[in-house]
Amino acid sequence: MQGSTQAFVKVERLVKTFGPLKAVDGVSLEVAEKHTLSLLGPSGCGKTTILRCLGGLERPDAGRIEIAGKTVYDDAKGINLPPEDRQLGIVFQSYAVWPHMSVAENVGFPLKVRKVGKAEARERVARMLDLVGLGAMIDKPATQLSGGQQQRVALARALVHEPRLVLFDEPMSNLDAQLREQVRIELKILQERLGFTAIYVTHDQSEAFALAEQVIIMNRGRIDAMGPPKEVFDEPRTPFVARFLGLNVLDGKVERVTSSNGRDYAEVSVGGITLIGRIGLGTKLAAGERAAACIRREHVRVTAADQTAAAGSQILPAEVRASSFLGLVEEFAIGLGSAELRAIQPYTGRFSGPVSVSIAPDDCIVLAGV
């Protein structure tokens, strides 16, 4: 969505530990006003801890947090505002809908805490429930709601007091795939209408890329990648990011580095075969160094063993070890020397045993190994 490029949320050198575990290790980030930032990563990477520190639900050990120009946490100055003074809403993974309350009472609770008058509160609750498609259920008991409806109640409750910042902690993880897609679209429409800034925590890359203008991928309490979704998706900078995004990551050693048409390429020895790939952005490699060849499953083309490669591609002898029918496509586990990779292509049902795979050098990203 469109909005100011001025930072609305600033986090500087944030640190949070739990005993010997450094859950957040010196993280700094910014979010522009009326924009969405997604914190993406596997369980235990620190993304939810950052969100809880932003919301005032966890006290960091060091760093500084600013929201809408106001410092809400500063270790050096001893500032740590409570959640109710941070002008934000939170949507939790569990929805946290209170079963003993009606839908209206659940949504209106933030207004009750803020001592908003009953008539005004009723009007604002009704308006918000209409926005999330639950206007007809305003007086129903919360226990009569489906999981998707409870998610909408939690969203309405987070937005009813008109916060300028909303924090989302994996709010769709308990929904089925079709409902997740529907709610994701509705959430984008709501943000356009209401104009709030959002920080969205998820382990689902489809959600992160669909909802956010900026994506951060976390790894062991640190930022491993940060940028617009397409940039993060197209140009993984580390083997960890490539693996997390579902690429094949094959460890090997650089045999030779060459240049062509302004790009640097590396020949990498992997499992007894040699792969040629372009060296990733910001990566410097030399012969003899460890490297990781990263290839999207969709960029591995499986053909008959005697078929020639497409122009510009390298063709390698391989073996289909397993295959899975996925509807419109088929996924293969491919033996490539002593290495294994995955391939996805339109279903044919024709391939098993010895095959050839072709990979264009520009579709193989070579990064520094670990």
User: DSSP letters along 43-91, please?
Assistant: TTSSHHHHHHHHHTSS--SEEEEEETTEEEEETTTTEE--GGGS-EEEE
Report yes or no: 197 and 30 within 8 Å, Cβ to Cβ: no
Residue 2 has pLDDT above 80, yes or no: no
For residue 66, count other CB atoms closer than 10 A to its CB.
17
Give the chain's mean pLDDT: 90
pLDDT tens per residue across span 167-214: 999 888 777 777 778 778 888 888 888 899 999 999 889 889 999 999
Residue 336 CB coordination number (10 Å): 22
What is the rounded (10 degree) CA torsion for 113, 118, 121, 123? 170
Say if residue 28's pLDDT is above 50.
yes
**How many other CB atoms sit within 10 Å of the CB of residue 205?**
19
pLDDT, one tens digit per residue, over 210-246 is 999 999 999 999 999 999 999 999 999 999 999 999 9
pLDDT tens figures, 97-155 = 888 899 999 999 989 988 899 999 999 999 989 888 888 889 998 888 888 888 888 88
Multiple choice CATH, 7-234, 3.40.50.1220, 3.40.50.300, 3.30.2270.10, 2.40.50.100: 3.40.50.300
Q: What is the location of CATH 3.40.50.300 in the chain?
A: 7-234
The count of other CB atoms within 10 Å of the CB of residue 23 is: 23
Q: What average pLDDT score do residues 261-267 get?
A: 92
Binned at pLDDT 50, 70 and 90, residue 64 comes out as very high
